[in-house]
Structure 1
Amino acid sequence: MSERVDRAERRIEASRPEVYRALVDPESLVEWLPPEGMAGRFERFAPSGYRMVLTYHEPGHGKSSQATDVVETEFVERVPGERVVQRIVFDAPDPAFAGTMTMTWLLSDTDGGTLVVVEARNVPPGISPGDHETGLASSLAGLAAHVTR
């Protein structure tokens, strides 16, 4: 069986340095990263990574509790203006939603802006490809709105 890789991309009308900053800056991340229908807050943020609690506006969807998803994220690699690689550990009692996923954010120049490609590897099997695609697209839309404001 081949490894599951979920992928999304978006062209953003901002420079690579602006987009990169939003990928590593805590004030930016907490604003744009939570998908639609969720809010985020940090329990901890350090240069090496962070622990974020994502709270659903409508409880009943959470993986860590009825209302929350909790993720422990480590910055594995950061290359300014080019890429961010994160190791994300899901805190969930159900093994289908627990585990460690690797997300790679790749930035490249495109006409009038930056092409952002995000790839997620080793996605917990409880997260359906369709739900993950929707969440990734929502986060990318939030990123675009944040950096073009």
Structure 2
Amino acid sequence: MERTDRASRLIAAPPAAVYAALLDPDALAAWLPPDGMRGRIERWDPRPGGGFRMVLTYLDATGNPGKTSDATDVVDVGFADLVPAERVVQRAVFEADDPAYAGTMTMTWQLAAAGAGTGVTVTATGVPPGIDQAVHQEAMASSLANLAAHVEAVG
């Protein structure tokens, strides 16, 4: 059975603002890396069939070995589906020599209007088995908290 990791959060910003933060490379590099990491976008093509390449660097790699190198995770992400103010579907492939991190993970960012805000649920399927489920769900929750702080500060 395929593993599914999920995290949700209510964000005090309209769906259009949240969607914009999912498709802005500077915003994405700022909010997507979970606590303890920083990110850099190397390539950006925001359209279905396009995508981006992100380098995630651990601020302290002790006890957190990277998938690509001792301190980094490099991921190539393709945009599979973009529905303005509703959904972003990404297909992520980590650069890794270890087969436990191989494969394509699908990340679906679902946005739903909720009063004056947006309910955001991120669902990951096809998660490589080398990624610990509890750690991954904690990282997704951290990214959602960063996203909320980003869009709520801008709005």
Give the TM-score band, short-chain normalised. Answer: over 0.9
Question: What SS does structure 2 have at the residue aligned with 1:135?
Answer: helix
The runs of 4+ residues in structure 1 deviating greater than 6 Å are: none
Q: Which one-letter code corresponds to 1:104 in the other structure? A: T
Deviation at 1:109, TM superposition (A): 1.1
Question: What SS does structure 1 have at the residue aligned with 2:13?
Answer: coil
Q: Say whether 1:105 aligns with 2:104.
A: no
Residues of 2 paired with 1:43 and 1:80: CA distance?
24
Residues of 2 paired with 1:99 and 1:65: CA distance?
17
Q: Structure 2: 5+ residue runs without aligned partners? A: none
Q: Identify the residue that residue 115 of structure 1 maps to in structure 2.
A: 119
Q: Identify the residue that residue 29 of structure 2 maps to in structure 1.
A: 30
Deviation at 1:128, TM superposition (A): 0.9
Deviation at 1:42, TM superposition (A): 1.4
Calculate the aligned-residue CA RMSD, in Å. Answer: 0.8
Q: Structure 1: 5+ residue runs without aligned partners? A: none
Residues of 1 paired with 2:126 and 2:77: CA distance?
14
Normalised by the length of structure 2, the TM-score is 0.93
Q: Aligned ranges for residues 61-80 of structure 1 at < 5 Å?
A: 61=64, 62-80=66-84
State the number of aligned residues: 148
Question: What SS does structure 1 have at the residue aligned with 2:99?
Answer: coil
Normalised by the length of structure 1, the TM-score is 0.97
Residues of 2 paired with 1:95 and 1:28: CA distance?
31
